[in-house]
Amino acid sequence: MPAADEPALSLAEWLVLCLVCEQPRHGFALARLLGADGDLGRIWRVPKPVVYRALQRLEHLGLVSQGRPERTSLGPARATVDASGAGRRLASHWLTRPASHTRDVRSELLVKLALLERSGRDPRPLLDAQRERLVPVARALRARLNHEVGFEHTLALWRTETIEATLRFLDAMRPSDAADADRTAG
């Protein structure tokens, strides 16, 4: 759960913050990474104007700061943006926090897994926390499924199957302890 004093950031703002935490970048480089053909844009595309608005908001919140604009031969002067200590702490915490709502798992969980992989961090704490968050929801949906009729049954069945598929995905992503032992022994 987010801390009470944590700013409410959009997924686009979290992505921009996490990418700036990886290394100082300018807005154009961020827009490329989050564009349709970018590494993270394949998961969650963020239009260029939204990237620049996110940078402005993050700077206003004191989570990033801009350096001096640098002239390049490739176009206009560009300023790199770096994360503040507070921005780095928030991003690090967010990367291990499970998605709050089942509807956000697909986008939020996948971008977090991609960001964790990019940084070489272990995804298991996130996978475990996400599973722990979803298991009670799955139980409640299964119980509800037996009592619904008509379209409510259809909706409950859809939600049940979706969450069950997500739980299978989480289990498949989490290597067994035996596989961990094999990897460390070899």
* Residue range 53-71, pLDDT digits in tens: 999 999 999 999 998 777 7
Nearest to 25, CA basis, from 11, 36, 39: 39
CATH architecture for the domain at 11-99? Orthogonal Bundle (1.10)
- Torsion-angle region of 132 (φ positive above 0: left; ψ -120 to 50: alpha; else: beta): alpha
How high is the pLDDT of residue 176?
64
How high is the pLDDT of residue 146?
87
How deeply is 185 buried, as exposed, middle or buried, from its count of CB atoms within 10 A (0-12, 13-18, 19+)? exposed
pLDDT band for position 178 (50/70/90)?
very low
Q: Are 40 and 16 in contact (CB under 8 A)?
A: no
Distance CA 173, CA 186 (A): 20
Helix or strand (DSSP H, E) at 144: helix 124-145
Distance CA 137, CA 160 (A): 9
Nearest to 16, CA basis, from 58, 67, 49: 58
Average pLDDT of every residue of the chain = 90
Please state the rounded mean pLDDT for residues 156-162: 93
Within 10 Å of residue 172's Cβ, how many Cβ atoms?
A: 9
Q: Please check the confidence at residue 44 and state whether its pLDDT lies above 80.
A: yes
* Residue range 7-36, pLDDT digits in tens: 999 999 999 999 999 999 999 999 999 999
pLDDT band for position 1 (50/70/90)?
low
pLDDT band for position 183 (50/70/90)?
very low
- Entry pTM: 0.85
* Residue range 69-125, pLDDT digits in tens: 777 766 677 789 999 999 999 999 999 999 988 888 989 999 999 999 999 999 999
How high is the pLDDT of residue 177?
53
Q: Are 107 and 44 in contact (CB under 8 A)?
A: yes
Helix or strand (DSSP H, E) at 25: strand 25-26
Q: What percent of the chain has pLDDT over 70?
A: 89
